Chain A
Amino acid sequence: MEEFIKYFKLIKIKVNHWVEKNNFRIILFNMVVVFLFLLRSAGYFHPYFEISVNFIVLASIVLSILLLKAKARAIFFVALTFWLFAGLMKVLKINVWAERTAIYTYQALVVATILLVYEAIASSGAKKGK
């Protein structure tokens, strides 16, 4: 238990440090996401372009890479989180939500895979540069 608390504290320090370092980016990220939801609730661009929740989720994932410098590992974690939520919905027999959340899982999986390839190639570029 003691070790767990120690580990938890360590994570907390790391997160705090990361938040302090990326304060502005986090604010910007949240603002964009909130703004997207506001646009959606007000029905902007409809019927020419619908700001769907799918779109917001995908945009958030891409933004997290651009703004928060999220790595493939983090996006895979997002996919896992969505999947666990989808599983919970399935267990609670809310199948429609389970299927919808699985779509977000897949979106995250696609982005994470592309990022994984990019990281592999970029790291080889760095090696070459070195």
Chain B
Amino acid sequence: MRIKKINPVILVLILLSLTPLIWFWGRGDVLLNGVDTNFPLDPLLWFKRRFFVWNPINNAGADFSSSTSGLFFHLIQVIPYLLGFSLKWVQIVSLLFWSFAIIFSSYFFSRVVFGKKRLVQLVFVVFYSFNIYLFNTWENVKVANLALVTALPLASGLFILLKKGTIKRTDAVFYSVLVGVILSGSGINPSYFISFFLTTALFFLGVLTLSVRERNIRKRLIDFFAVVVPIILVNLFWILPSLSFIFTNISARESIAEIGFTNWTDSLSKDTSLFNVLRLQGLWDWYAFDSVTGLPLYIPYVVNFFYNFPFIIYSLLIPSLVLLSLVLHKKENKYLFISFSFLLVVGVLLGAGTHSPTGYVFRLLLNNIPFFSLFRSPWYIFTPMVFFSIAGILALFFDTTKALSDRKSPIISLAIGSFALVMIAGNLLYTYPQVSGKIFRPKEKDSFFINFPDYVLNSQEKLDNLGEGRLIGYPDDEIERFEWGYRGVQPLTTLISNKETLSSPLNAPDSGVASLIKHFYLSLKRGETEKYRKIAKLLNIDSLLYKNDQSSLSPERKEELNDYTKNTVGEWDLYNFASDKEKIYIAEASDFAYSYTHAEDIISSMDEDSVLLNPSDSVVNDIRQLSLSSGNIILAENSQRKSFEKFIYSPSNIADRIRSYEVDNVSFKFNIPVDGEYQPKLEKYAVEKFGFKLTGNLALEVNGTTQEWKIEKVDDSYIYFDPILLEKDEYEISLALDNNNLIINPDFIENLEFDTKGVANLSTVEDEGEKALGIYNTSGEDASAVITISDFDPLSSYLIELEYRQIYGNNASVLVHQATDKTLVKTQVERMPNHPEWKHFSFYFEPVKTKSEIEIELAAPKTKDPLGTKILYNNLKVHKVFSNNMLFVKEGATLDRSAKVVYEQVSPVEYKGRIESDGTSDLIVFSENYSPKWNIDIFSDNEKLDLEPKHFSANTYANAWFIDKAPGNYRFKITYTPQKLFNIGMLLSTVTLFTSLLLYFRGRKN
């Protein structure tokens, strides 16, 4: 039997493709997971989610249009999962697939371009498949990048095959559809999908210059569209809903600012100088170093690339050979040189982002091309152009020099061949983090190799059986850091279960649902049971997951939760927040919030059967019944809180620090929109510390007139006063506070009772008739007096005041340190301006909300001047800020009716149900994030009713529909309308796939 000789290049490529096996070699039963890498612990769940354009799993849901493009990527995971592979092997199979895909797609291209020149083929494949850009791609297993990098050489290769006439257009259409399927994952970040077309178009321009000479531009253009159009058609399933989302939710200009990434592009472009981009070293996280230790913050291996001589030389050698290749360019391959030069020039220009000097161009594009701000991570989106061209030009270099030397001297030819081999080996050494798996930071604290505990992997059933409501996690950190290694932005439970989850969001922290979640956590930490129970109902929370294995600074709250039934799963405690509220319900009353921008402060004072509405919403205003029946809740403006927030959220300035702030008095300003009887409510939190009594009357001034309000009742969240009559007008209420100075030893200046830091002469001095603390420091270190405070509450904010006089030397400084018993958590340094006379200085301190203590350092910093520093301090005071809210509640008419809602969730985008009501109009609340694209249809038993439900937002985040003249009993269907676009797109994509297949086989037959 004759055995066909195997191409040694193929063998080498197979070995290179097996690189992911090295990553897992000897690491035990681990998964690559964490931070941006979200490997599902149930791949089937994640695959199924890709069929819907709304994902309800996290934080009350979000549009999922572009994520549906991950269908193929997750299919690769689902197949081995359904075949019974372990999760580790599911991941390995998925990684091997993409490793093979990148290497063999680049091999396809190199074969098309370089024919049978094996060494040149290898050069292209190795430089294309192993480079610094791919470190980051593999590190986070970025779907979009993997898809783009795989598809680029395939599409470019098809152009050349068509140019050469090797394949027919009908074949090219079919192959393009396959490329489109592979490319589909890039839709997760549509800018990568666009980058694909830009790159292929630039590559095609080189081919086109050749056709100018051959005078067949039209033919070439048809070839171009024969490749590009099928790719678009087969991706319509995600393109259609994503376009709908982009055009309706993102503004054409400044969309970065809209989504909270104003300085994102600038910060990512900080180190993308042309010098770095040409060496592929433009990753922002490479340049993050600890200012104290000088060590890399994120990427440990960068020290080799920055300081190791051979690494520096190799990084310079690659562009040198690229430029040399361009110098030596051959006539017969000129179109390829043009294609790759285009890619290099444009790739470097765009990849450098807003970095000067070329940043001017990027900024121009950003400001003038609609939606260009979608390219918010320039280096990551455009660098594939650069390494595609580098690999191509390098391969052309060896192609050219080898051809020249073959003709002239076999020795030179051998030398060039050896040099190519050295470069290949050198590149594999140079990219050792990718080859060895160091990109996943093994042995580091933030390693991506995670050994999931059994209780996590086995928690799915318990999570799924918790009920229909939502699950909220605690501790409340935005990034979960588990003691066993996993760190993630996305809650861990979403990797394993379809249980809807709420967590502190890292993105969109100002959204309605985010504000409510924040308030839920704050109330839980403060022990305000009434408040957090109400918020839990409005957020449809039925369980709280207490993660004992999460490293966090958040305070322990287990005692607070003792009243709830508990279920334990390993290190996790599941508390049952049994709620009588469903995701869809009929509101029994409604309240207008004044103002709705602070609705999260208002919502917990609302009756729990009511719904909070925005009185400025034009749709709500048009509904007469709501205007007539809604109650009013007015949030008064707290003067101390206003000063505090202005100080904290303004850029640091001296004017805010040399003024005086009210401590012993707080005023509340508010407008009453309609006459009526209002019940005042004051937040109860820590009011006793300000001298309030929780019984009897409260003396205060209303618009300058002294009044007494009788306390009606008190719960753990609010003090309720007897209702008072208020006319439509402006009001200012003034309350006297007994706000103590929290310095433990107020006579510390006289007695010199405090700790000291550094070596200095500290003494009590008489100055202008008052005793002051004098610190005279001539040492080479900072010196200070350390003052402790009593009764520190990390959930409150503080005003720190003092007087200082800088006699000479360095500036006076005050440092506030907050520390737990284990670690320092916050230091605020206030450096006072030069002032040789006595000067009042004050500032606010907002502690980290963790069990801790604070101390205040009054410092005389060191100076180079041999005379040293002498500072006098006096009148140090620390006061709590009285930031409690005062609200005025006017009850609305309760809609005296009974209503029963029965519904089922058909899919994440469709809910069907029945309402039995005895009213004539219904206010339906749907507790999923508001989107104008949610739609409700009303049916009688047999037909759709011609009612026009009015749609608006409610409870700061949810959807609400007002149905006027609603029949007593009716059916409803709530749908997320962009799903139709997905369905149409999916149909078109499938038709494209089968049509191309048909054309391909018909072509074969003929």
Contacts and interface: CB of A to CB of B under 8 A. Distances in A.
Interface of A: 54, 72-73, 76-77, 79-80, 83-84, 86-87, 90-91, 98-99, 101-103, 105-106, 109-110, 112-113, 116-117, 120-121, 123-124, 127-128
Contacts of A121: 209, 212-213
B334 interface: yes
A77 B320 CA distance: 10
B337 A90 contact: no
Given A86-B275, A99-B273, A102-B273, A113 B342 contact: yes
Given A80-B324, A124-B213, A102 B275 contact: yes
A80 B328 CA distance: 12
Interface in B292-349: 309, 312-313, 316, 319-320, 323-324, 326-329, 334-335, 337-338, 341-342, 344-345, 348
B358 interface: yes
Contact of B274 (A80, A105, A113): A105
A73 B323 CA distance: 10
Q: By DSSP majority rule, is chain A's interface helix, strand, loop, or mixed? A: helix
Contact of B341 (A73, A101, A116, A123): A116
Contacts of B324: 80
A106 B274 contact: yes
Given A76-B326, A80-B324, A106 B348 contact: yes
Nearest to A73: B327
Contacts of B274: 99, 102-103, 105-106
Contact of B323 (A80, A99, A117, A124): A80
Given A90-B316, A116-B341, A106 B358 contact: yes
B210 interface: yes
Contacts of B312: 90-91
Of A91, A120, A127, most B-chain CB atoms within 10 Å: A120
Nearest to B321: A80
B384 to A, nearest CB: 18
A109 B343 CA distance: 12
A80 B341 contact: no
Contact of B338 (A54, A87, A120): A120
23 contacts: A54-B357, A73-B326, A77-B327, A80-B320, A80-B324, A80-B327, A83-B278, A83-B319, A84-B320, A91-B312, A91-B316, A102-B274, A105-B274, A106-B345, A106-B358, A109-B323, A109-B348, A113-B338, A116-B329, A120-B210, A120-B213, A121-B212, A124-B213
A30 to B, nearest CB: 23
Interface in B363-399: none
A74 to B, nearest CB: 8
B371 to A, nearest CB: 26
B323 A120 contact: no
Nearest to A113: B341
Contacts of B320: 80, 83-84, 87
B220 to A, nearest CB: 13
A58 to B, nearest CB: 11
Nearest to A101: B275
B341 A105 contact: no
A97 B323 CA distance: 20
Contacts of A98: 275
Given A83-B278, A124-B212, A124-B214, 16 more contacts: A73-B329, A76-B323, A79-B323, A79-B326, A87-B316, A90-B312, A90-B316, A101-B275, A105-B274, A109-B323, A109-B341, A109-B344, A109-B345, A113-B345, A116-B338, A123-B213
A43 B546 CA distance: 69
B323 A116 contact: no
Nearest to A121: B212
Contacts of B214: 124
B542 to A, nearest CB: 57
B209 A120 contact: yes
A102 B309 CA distance: 19
B209 A106 contact: no
Contact of A105 (B210, B276, B278, B328): B278
Nearest to A84: B320
Contacts of A123: 213
10 nearest CB pairs, A to B: A124-B213, A102-B275, A80-B323, A87-B316, A113-B341, A76-B326, A99-B275, A76-B327, A102-B274, A120-B209
Contacts, number: 91
Interface string B203-238: 000000110111100000000000000000000000
A111 B344 CA distance: 13
Interface string B771-804: 0000000000000000000000000000000000
A123 B638 CA distance: 78
Contacts of A120: 209-210, 212-213, 334-335, 338
Contact of A110 (B275, B319, B329, B345): B345
Interface in B11-53: none
Contacts of A54: 357
Contacts of B275: 86, 90, 98-99, 101-102
Nearest to A127: B213
Contacts of A112: 326, 341
Of A99, A101, A117, most B-chain CB atoms within 10 Å: A117
Interface string B917-961: 000000000000000000000000000000000000000000000
Of B313, B319, B344, most A-chain CB atoms within 10 Å: B319
A106 B278 contact: yes
Contacts of B328: 73
Contacts of B334: 116, 120
Nearest to B210: A120
B494 to A, nearest CB: 43
A112 B335 CA distance: 14
B813 to A, nearest CB: 34
A105 B309 CA distance: 22
Contacts of A79: 323, 326
Contacts of B327: 73, 76-77, 80
A118 B309 CA distance: 40
A128 B313 CA distance: 46
Contact of A83 (B212, B323, B337, B357): B323
Nearest to A119: B334
Contacts of A116: 329, 334, 337-338, 341
B957 to A, nearest CB: 48
A84 B327 CA distance: 14
B307 to A, nearest CB: 10
Contacts of A77: 327
Contacts of A105: 274, 278, 323
A110 B274 CA distance: 13
A102 B319 CA distance: 11
Contacts of B341: 109, 112-113, 116
A67 to B, nearest CB: 21
Contacts of B344: 109, 113
A83 B324 CA distance: 10
Nearest to B213: A124
Contacts of B319: 83
Contacts of B273: 99, 102
Contacts of B213: 120-121, 123-124, 127
Nearest to B307: A93
A30 B454 CA distance: 76
Nearest to A124: B213
B359 to A, nearest CB: 12
A52 to B, nearest CB: 9
Contacts of B335: 120
A51 to B, nearest CB: 15
Nearest to B358: A106
Contacts of A117: 209, 338
Nearest to B326: A76
A122 to B, nearest CB: 10
A109 B274 CA distance: 12
Nearest to A81: B323
A54 B660 CA distance: 53
Of B273, B323, B341, most A-chain CB atoms within 10 Å: B323
